[in-house]
């Protein structure tokens, strides 16, 4: 695939640079609170990506189970940032943003998954729509003990890549993306601000309202992520 060749070329260029000049193309931020059952498979889904120029940052929001210990088994493949006290999902994402080295920040909740081509498709979106601020794909919904429901948006043809100028109108029919299927350019946070840490429900909606006042969304209308829905789908406490 063209994306794989571009990734390989970029990797060779990086080898010629000084170590201090090298930074990943993507920073993957995983907020973590008591997800010992899921977090290993979440990280494994990142390590299985066809696009490999990324760093993984896990923000441990003061977990009380074995989550952090499980993450540490991945060694240098994952960087762990610790919260001494539980601060909540928004604060955990903001901490990840602060520690991110890359210009493009991907969020993945600790009980969700990426399909192997997620970052590759996002990279293609960035190449095709470089002026967009957010880049996302459709996603699957996996319900506990139930089949997967595929979320493709009815406004676009399957497998189509589009620049969505009116996100709120397109999103009114059905969700375009979840926060495990979106990547945000770091400049967006400079303009729109980070996640509001005073909001414990719908913090992503609040951020979207601010972000899409200034930036457009590049969108791939096929599922490249899996969003898990069950009784305790909150990643962190408030």
| pLDDT the model gives residue 172 | 80
122, part of any domain:
yes
| pLDDT the model gives residue 32 | 98
3-state secondary structure of 87: coil
16, part of any domain:
no
Within 73-115, strands assigned E span: 79-82, 104-107, 113-114
| pLDDT the model gives residue 13 | 53
Residues 6+ apart with CB under 8 A from 33: 60, 61, 62, 63, 67, 86, 92, 110, 235, 236, 237
Check pLDDT > 90 for residue 21: no
211, part of any domain:
yes
Of the candidate ranges 33-37, 149-153, 212-216, the one whose mean pLDDT is the lowest: 149-153
Give the span between the Cα atoms of 181 and 111, in whole angstroms.
13
The whole-number average pLDDT for the span 200-208 is 91
Check pLDDT > 60 for residue 14: no
pLDDT, tens only, 175-191: 899 999 999 999 999 99
238, part of any domain:
no
237, part of any domain:
no
18, part of any domain:
no
CATH code assigned at 106: 3.90.550.10
- 25 close to 10: Cβ distance less than 8 angstroms: yes
14, part of any domain:
no
Convert 11-32 into a string of H (helix), E (strand) and C (coil). HHHHHHCCHHHCCCCEEEEEEE
Q: Which two tokens mark 162?
A: 């589009």
Q: How many domains does the chain have?
A: 1
| pLDDT the model gives residue 18 | 47
- Higher confidence at residue 166 or residue 105? 105
pLDDT, tens only, 37-79: 999 999 999 999 999 999 999 999 999 999 999 999 999 999 9
Range of the domain at 86: 2-7+23-229
- Its pTM stands at 0.86
93, part of any domain:
yes
């Amino acid at each position: 695939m063209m994306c794989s060749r571009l990734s390989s070329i970029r990797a060779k260029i990086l080898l010629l640079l000084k170590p201090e000049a090298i930074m990943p193309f993507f920073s993957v931020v995983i907020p973590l609170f008591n997800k010992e059952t899921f977090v290993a498979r979440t990280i494994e889904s990142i390590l299985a990506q066809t696009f490999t120029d990324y760093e993984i940052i896990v923000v441990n929001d003061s977990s009380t189970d074995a989550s952090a210990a499980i993450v540490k088994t991945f060694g240098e493949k994952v960087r762990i940032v610790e919260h001494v006290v539980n601060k909540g999902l928004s604060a955990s994402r903001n901490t990840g943003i602060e520690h991110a080295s890359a210009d493009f920040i991907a969020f993945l909740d600790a009980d969700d998954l990426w399909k192997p081509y997620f970052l590759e498709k996002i990279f293609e979106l960035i190449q095709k729509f470089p002026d967009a601020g957010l880049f996302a794909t459709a996603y699957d919904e996996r319900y506990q003990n139930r089949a997967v429901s595929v979320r493709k948006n009815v406004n676009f043809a399957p497998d189509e890549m589009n620049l969505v100028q009116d996100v709120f109108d397109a999103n009114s029919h059905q969700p375009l993306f979840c926060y495990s299927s979106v990547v945000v350019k770091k400049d967006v946070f400079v303009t729109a601000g980070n996640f509001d840490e005073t909001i414990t429900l719908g913090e992503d909606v609040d951020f979207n309202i601010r972000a899409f006042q200034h930036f457009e969304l590049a969108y791939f209308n096929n599922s490249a992520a899996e969003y898990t829905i069950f009784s305790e789908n909150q990643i962190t406490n408030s």
